Chains A and B, each alone.
Chain A
Amino acid sequence: VRHSQHRARPCAPTGPLGVQLSPHPSLRRRLCILKGIYPHEPKHKKKVNKGSTAPRTFYLLKDIKFLLHEPIVNKFREYKIFVRKLRKAYGKSEWGTAERLKDNKPTYKLDHIVKERYPTFVDALRDLDDALSMCFLFSTFPRTGKCHVQTIQLCRRLAVEFLNFIIASRSLRKVFLSIKGIYYQAEVLGQPITWITPYAFSHDHPTDVDYRVMATFTEFYTTLLGFVNFRLYHSLNLHYPPKIDGQAEVELKPAEGKEYAMDSESYLEKLSALSASLARVVAPTQEDDVEMDEFPVEGETAEQMDARKKEQEALEKHKKLFEGLRFFLNREVPREPLAFVIRCFGGQVSWDKSLCIGATYDVSDPSITHQIVDRPRVEQQVVGRYYLQPQWVFDSVNAKLCLPVADYFPGVLLPPHLSPFVTEQEGDYIPPEKLKLLAMQRGEDPGEESEEEEEEEEDDDNDKDEEEEDESEKEEEIKLKKMEEQKTQSNKALPVKVTAGKVRLEDKQRLEQEQQSEEKRLAIMMMKKREKYLYKKIMFGKKRKIREV
């Protein structure tokens, strides 16, 4: 499935089908967005377009009729009338009438549209990507202008609820720090769900964006996401709306000390701190983790079963990546993404009390194992913990193992951050860092030095810094040696041979090759036009790939 190249201008879609959908294009647009009606590409464009080839948008007649039967059309009309009356009342300064009208403000619900568009829950999950990205974007909007404050608050609430669910279900799989924002990928009920969140900066609102379109989308997406959240929470036996676990709540209370904010607001704040676990409807028992019975699937060999089992184990291990580690976030690192990622993999996380509500322990806590720092150097280092740059967390998650820490110390030039979404096919270019990582995942070359380093560091922390330097020097030496070896090897391997016999042999081969290539060229000449076109296209794509590599 793909989008066609052109996107007709939004004002174009009148359709040649002769159906006057509604007098106002904005209503038509809203209906199309809410009901998920999209244009179609006619088979005979010229025939439908009365002989013209101008780009126009075509809808199916069926779809348009379907839109007209939507009960929400009447609600929209009612709302329009309400707005008109209200404006009139204000104009006449009839405050009583205005109040009365406001009390009877017509409302509409999109529940039935959600149900209609997604008859099963899995369908809804499949389409959740855009909904999440949009909600996360809207939740970062300022509370002025642009769109309704309620929408922004709702988006924020739903987004936080979703994050909490992901933490509770530990279903995050991949994270990627891009220049556009942070990509997350979670797996819910076997469906990969990818969403992007912008970096936490205020937006420079562009002028060439129609916020009404976005608001209509968001309206639908918030409804969808709310229902999905409800269902997801119930699938884990969690309360919805979410409740913070009783214990954690008690822990949180004294940390506040005094009145923090309004009750309703502070609750959302506490939730969005992402540090507390959620309350369950049924208290979890110890035997919750019952081993799954194994049903052999027909037509599956033992090898496949084994492979599946192994995969399952790897997944379980991945879920418990940060189990037992205690992190502390410095105030210069982005708190929310890091807290989310760390909590998703079982780690404990805290931050400075003045930074955000929900901090569970202090910097001085001796049990902290990792402190995430994003400064060139740290003034007062506490013995017994790693000071790391935030990329370590993300890289470790993507690598599915805790990477050696040496590359991520503060002030160190970071190794490249690779996209976890790329799966290289044969012949594609693979960056050397990825190769190294793959080798590490296979367990071939986990970097013995680095492991030793860790042990040593754990043994005697006192002269850690000096050792670090030493080790980095050692590493450099080793690298240099390796490079030299490679060079000498390559020198040795050069096929420089001067004997006459050999040269002739090579010539023969080359001749044969030439002959073959000529044969191929001649055969290509005999191809039919259409096949030749296809062939050239494929070869062009291949060549481009090679060139890029």
Chain B
Amino acid sequence: DIRNTVGNIPMEWYQDFPHIGYDLEGKRIYKPIRNKDELDKFLEKMENPDYWRTVQDKMTGADIKLTDEQVDLVHRLQKGQFGDVHFNPYEPAIDFFTHEVMIHPVTNRPADKRSFIPSLIEKEKVSKLVHAIKMGWIKPRKPKEDTPTYYDLWAHEDPNSILGRHKMHVPAPKMKLPGHEESYNPPPEYLLSEEEKLAWEQQEPAERRLNFVPQQYRCLRAVPAYPRFIQERFERCLDLYLCPRQRKMRVNVDPEDLIPKLPKPRDLQPFPTTQALVYRGHSSLVRCITVSPSGQWLASGTAPRRHQTLRRCRSCSGASLHASSEQSVLLVNPCLGDKLLYGATDQVLESYVPPEEERVQPVQWLTATSEEHGRGIRLTVQHSKALKQVTWHGKGDYFATVVADNSNMQVLVHQTSKRWSQNPFRKSKGMVQCVLFHPIRPYFFVATQRYVRVYNLLKQELTKKLMANCKWVSSMAIHPAGDNVICGSYDSKLAWFDLDLSTRPYQLLRHHRKALRSVAFHKHYPLFASGSDDGTVIVCHGMVYNDLLQNPLLVPVKVLKGHALTLDLGVLDVVFHPTQPWVFSSGADGTVRLYT
């Protein structure tokens, strides 16, 4: 009997030792000598008839041949049977409790006393319940209501039950009824194309026109469930109780009725309609143009820099021009036209007698040298700063200049015959954009960025302040009769002021799409024109009536196109022909165009 005493340990621990444990006396139990190789094992397997019932005992390492009983036991256990052959799992059960009432008790224990007397615990519980019922803590079971769930609710429709709140009630709008595109088999034109589908996917869910993609199915069997059905119902619920309701009046107007009824342009002729001539010659922008009083000559000025302008003198002689360069105004006699006229101009300029005492002037008046005289220049008015604008008084003796400055020296008024300049303002009222003399009365218009101030030159006071209602006034023109002023602005508005009516614009015209550069009135015809950066000149009919009660009639009559856009600039200056219903315009494309 070899008994290993190592206990219940993994036997691998003894793998590398020659022994496999220790016996009762503490001596090593050696492993049986195993010098069989694979071939021996195989031969044994083939030859030994008991190989299949030989197992190795892990504890001793010895081979053991199983007896027949042991093999039998293994078989039975494998089959899930009991190990013991003689055990009968299906023995008949013997009932201890039967349905038959026996005359003798099963136990012989006598009954307790407490089974004969009322229970104290129960009594306590009952008294608690009774107390609770008495105190009203426990309510007895409610009787079942036997009214039917549904009955004729509107059996007695009472007209008095329609209260004010029902009249005030705004019923929820019904759900939108589905169109053809929602069909499971819509006409093919309602299906979205690939791009439309892509666009639909990229849109926000709120801004989609359809909240689904139209789809086509071959037959009804192929139609799947709509995945957003519950969501849509839920959204409808939210709409019903969370959306503010209000009655909206639908505008049901014919758009044609909205268009104002204006006299037809055909009835308001003459006005320029077609482009007649294009004057080329300038290589860069033509900043300004002017026409001689006879209408025979046209002077144009180019401007690499901003402050080179060219203005015409409308003197009594009428043939003198002036040109202003960077900082000086040049009075030029171009010696064109009637010889008598331009001779008289020279005479006026030369008739200057210097005063006895020299007065302090803001500018310098210089007589032209002989070389300059030959080029037509007669006088030079030297300013200290760059010039923005020059404008002549109607009589031709005075002219005003605007200097690019922020001080009170912005506007200067010059008298040619006395070669004398003065600064009319003591204080600066903002950036002056342009100035104008009233054609008849002694008024002087000064346009700052947002306002046009009208000064009385005789009384030396502010008469009016016109609110232009636009951000930045660019140009200004006055009606020959003197009662109406138009202002163009860089925010593409044109304001028409009726000086007798109000200081606010009589009308704001938003005809142009881009900034207005220049506006002009015609001297005789009821026309005015505006040139803008969008390359168009818009000619409007602006009839002013002698009757003070009748408002001026403004009708746009023609949109003249022709100038090409360069450097985002279009038309820079607009001038009417003095006698004919023609308009000249100069543009950034280096051309001057005549429309007749």
Residues of chain A whose beta carbon lies under 8 Å from any beta carbon of chain B: 1-4, 7-8, 10, 13, 29, 32-33, 36-41, 57-58, 62, 66, 100, 103-104, 111, 114-115, 118-121, 123-124, 126-127, 129-130, 133-134, 137, 176-181, 183, 194, 198-199, 201-206, 208-210, 213-214, 217, 226-227, 229-231, 234, 240, 332-334, 374-375, 389-391, 413-414, 416-419, 421-422, 431-433, 515, 518-527, 529, 531, 534-535, 538-539, 542
Contacts and interface: CB of A to CB of B under 8 A. Distances in A.
A180 B212 contact: yes
A538 B188 CA distance: 29
Given A374-B220, A418-B187, A1 B180 contact: no
Q: How large is the interface on B (under 10, 10 to 19, 20 to 34, 35 or more residues)?
A: 35 or more
Contact of B241 (A33, A111, A231): A33
A203 B153 CA distance: 35
B245 A38 contact: yes
B503 interface: no
Contacts of B220: 177, 333-334, 374, 389-391
B115 to A, nearest CB: 24
Contacts of B261: 523
A231 B156 CA distance: 12
A3 B245 contact: yes
- Chain B at the A interface: SS class: loop
B551 to A, nearest CB: 14
B417 to A, nearest CB: 46
A134 B233 contact: yes
A45 to B, nearest CB: 10
A473 B242 CA distance: 59
A62 B163 CA distance: 14
A1 B168 CA distance: 13
Q: Which 5 A-B pairs have the closest CB atoms?
A: A201-B225, A421-B177, A3-B243, A41-B244, A416-B187
Interface in B226-253: 226-234, 236-248, 251, 253
B559 interface: yes
A179 B190 CA distance: 13
A214 B240 CA distance: 11
Contacts of A391: 185, 219-220
A56 to B, nearest CB: 10
Interface in B109-157: 138-139, 141-142, 149-154, 157
Contacts of A29: 241
A225 to B, nearest CB: 9
26 contacts: A1-B170, A1-B246, A2-B173, A10-B242, A13-B242, A33-B237, A33-B240, A40-B244, A100-B138, A115-B154, A119-B162, A137-B229, A183-B177, A198-B225, A203-B230, A204-B225, A210-B234, A214-B234, A227-B154, A418-B183, A431-B190, A519-B265, A522-B556, A525-B511, A531-B258, A535-B259
B185 A7 contact: no
Contact of B559 (A13, A333, A522, A539): A522
B223 A199 contact: yes
Nearest to A410: B219
B510 interface: yes
B240 A525 contact: no
Interface in B206-234: 212, 214-215, 217-221, 223-234
B174 interface: yes
Contact of A4 (B158, B231, B243): B243
Contacts of B233: 133-134, 137, 214
B173 A176 contact: no
Nearest to A124: B154
Given A1-B171, A7-B239, A229-B150, A419 B178 contact: yes
Contacts of B182: 176, 178-180, 419
Given A104-B141, A111-B153, A414-B185, 8 more contacts: A1-B173, A100-B141, A114-B153, A137-B229, A179-B217, A198-B229, A227-B153, A416-B187
A223 to B, nearest CB: 8
B41 interface: no
A523 B264 CA distance: 9
Contacts of A374: 219-221
A3 B185 CA distance: 31
Given A104-B142, A179-B223, A523-B259, A203 B150 contact: no
B510 A529 contact: yes
Contacts of A524: 259
Contacts of A119: 157-158, 161-163, 166
B230 A209 contact: yes
Contacts of B175: 129-130, 133, 194
B329 interface: no
B122 to A, nearest CB: 13
A419 B556 contact: no
Contacts of B509: 525-526
Contact of A180 (B141, B219, B232, B556): B232
Given A119-B166, A206-B230, A127 B171 contact: yes
Contacts of A57: 242, 244
A389 B234 contact: no
Contacts, number: 280
Given A137-B229, A213-B237, A217-B237, A179 B255 contact: no
A204 B227 contact: yes
B552 interface: no
B346 to A, nearest CB: 47
A33 B224 CA distance: 32
A111 B242 CA distance: 24
A213 B186 CA distance: 34
A58 B152 contact: no
B260 A526 contact: yes
Given A39-B244, A210-B234, A180 B226 contact: yes
Given A120-B154, A230-B152, A529-B510, A7 B234 contact: no
Contact of A3 (B173, B190, B234, B260): B173
B234 A234 contact: no
Contacts of B305: none
A5 to B, nearest CB: 8
A129 B240 CA distance: 12
B183 A534 contact: no
B557 interface: yes
Contacts of B218: 413-414
Contact of B244 (A58, A208, A414): A58
A40 B253 CA distance: 28
B47 to A, nearest CB: 69
B431 interface: no
B139 A104 contact: yes
B73 interface: no
Contacts of B231: 206, 208-209
B242 to A, nearest CB: 5
B185 A38 contact: no
B555 interface: yes
B215 A179 contact: yes
A538 B257 CA distance: 12
Contacts of B188: 416
A178 B176 CA distance: 13
A389 B219 contact: yes
B259 A1 contact: no
B184 interface: yes
B556 A525 contact: yes
Contacts of B241: 29, 32-33, 37-38, 213
Nearest to B153: A227
B165 interface: yes
A7 B243 contact: yes
A214 B234 CA distance: 7
A516 to B, nearest CB: 10
Contacts of A519: 264-265
Contact of B180 (A334, A419, A539): A419
A209 B234 contact: yes
A192 to B, nearest CB: 9
B404 interface: no
A515 B233 CA distance: 54
Contacts of B179: 419, 421-422
